[in-house]
Amino acid sequence: MSARIPIRPRRLRSSAAMRRLVSQTQVRASQLVLPMFVIDGPDDADDRPVSSMPGVVQHSIDSLRRVASEAAEAGVGGVMLFGIPEHRDAVGSGATDPEGILNRATAAVAAEVGDAVVVSTDLCLDEFTDHGHCGVLDGEGRVDNDATLVRYAEMALAQAEAGSALLGLSGMMDGQVAAVREALDAAGRTDIAILAYAAKYASAFYGPFREAVDSQLQGDRRTYQLDPANAREGVREAALDVAEGADIVMVKPALPYLDVLREVADVSPVPVWAYQVSGEYAMVEAAAANGWIAREAAIMESVTAIVRAGADAVLTYWAMELAEWTRR
């Protein structure tokens, strides 16, 4: 005899079809952004695998264009480009050189898929400086916030000219959104959107990324990235970036900061994105390679959690696979 239980939530879990029908959170290909790395050298050079991120490579320009086209065909919403120059200096000259690797790659990808996906670029100096910091240094070796803003404004114009539609301001300098917006508008580039890495934390989860971009960093970035202990500070930074003209704000990393993501999403008048960073990727791949977790299920669950917490879009190295899975 059945117990008298009038309310049985399990009824809505009774079959795969029922679970799909009542699902409260869906991940769509169009809300995924694929980060990609491009390295200086011959346009047709072989890809270079990133050992700490299985499946991720440093692309040549030809390879980058091909994968960007595949992403567009898969329905992925955007790509985020990171450049790895052959030469670096104290002020990151390669970041503003029209013939620098990131600007050349941006032009190539924009010509290939610019009408099909949003081509976005990382606007930061860390890949281009010989000291690995996100800005220029003063005489005592400290990051000079205001001098860095001048370089960011120059980078913004170079990237816009190359064909980037969305500039990803990831350096965490005070006033960076206002400085870039002013420079773009003064140059008549009011069409270029700004993605502010608003709540970017000084995280231990960035390790594999530093291999991917051949980072030269000595020391850390704790004087400009956020303290992992501070949630309210992340919400404050997002509000400041919106006030300065950001079109989108970002929380980074994603999974360790779902609480911050939720708080930002609750108050933001602009779209909120999250970056599923290299360490998050590497942990799942390593555990799956050892047979400790089910790879596809863990990937899908992790990205669903990020969207559930409030992300309107997710930067993830699994964007291509996720786009395929969401079509099932």
Instruction: Please pick, among 104, 131, 200, 221, the residue that the annotation labels catalytic.
Output: 200
Numbers of helices and strands, H then E, in the chain: 11, 10
Q: Please say if 98 is a catalytic residue.
A: no
Tell me phi and psi for residue 218, to 5 degrees. -115, 130
Closest by CA to 314, choosing from 24, 29, 68, is 29
Distance CA 257, CA 229 (A): 10
The question of whether 40 is a catalytic residue gets the answer: no
Backbone Cα Rg of the chain: 20
Question: Ramachandran region of residue 75, left (φ > 0), alpha (ψ -120 to 50) or beta?
Answer: left
Active-site position among 131, 151, 252, 314: 252
Q: Distance between CA 306 and CA 252 in Å, rounded?
A: 11
Q: Mind giving me the DSSP string for 191-252? A: T-EEEEEEEEB--GGGHHHHHHTT----S--TTTSBPTT-SHHHHHHHHHHHHHT-SEEEEE
The residues annotated as belonging to the active site are 200, 252
